[in-house]
Amino acid sequence: MPMTRFCHLLISGILLMAVIACGSGPNTQTPALADMSKADTVEQPHQTSLRWIDSTLDFGKVTEGETIEARFRFQNTGNHPLVISNVSPSCGCTVAEKPAAPIAPGTEGSIKASFDSRGRPGPNLKTLNVYSNTTEGMHQLTFTVEVLGKK
């Protein structure tokens, strides 16, 4: 029995030393926690504002098979460069193109979209979600077109 008690004391002492050693030092946070606390201090891009010149477009009627080219114009009305980070179309029939460079305050830019009407007869409503460094963060653009089937 005395040997069992000695083993318990030895193991308890080793565990106590391990706990004390892990908690010592100037930074007791794990690297992951330390990185998370720094996340709040990372500088975010300056927010700006924009005004859409064209946010909805109507292309009327087109014959199936035609490709529609849409251009949504906007103006940076803020005090910082406008950065369009992503443009996400509502379906694969529409391909969007965002400006590659930031848009300076006071200047205009555009979002371009190309719609393939093949296999899409009837009324079509398409949306583009535009993500940017504006206070809103996301803007939605729409266009409509009625695709007439081939005769």
Interval 108-150: pLDDT, tens: 999 999 999 999 999 999 999 999 999 999 999 999 999 998 7
CA 96 remoteness from chain centre: 15
Structure tokens at 89: 């179309």
Interval 25-74: pLDDT, tens: 444 333 433 443 333 333 456 899 999 999 999 999 999 999 999 999 99
Domain ranges across the chain: 50-148
**50-148: which CATH number, 3.40.920.10, 2.20.25.570, 2.60.40.10, 3.40.462.10?**
2.60.40.10
Structure tokens at 99: 């400006």
Residue 12 has a pLDDT of 58
Mean pLDDT of the chain: 80
Residues 6+ apart with CB under 8 A from 149: 64, 121
Structure tokens at 7: 């083993």
What 3-state DSSP class applies to 9?
helix
If you average pLDDT over residues 74-84, what whole number do you get? Answer: 96
pLDDT at 100 over 70: yes
Residues 6+ apart with CB under 8 A from 147: 61, 62, 63, 64, 66, 117, 120, 121, 122, 123, 124
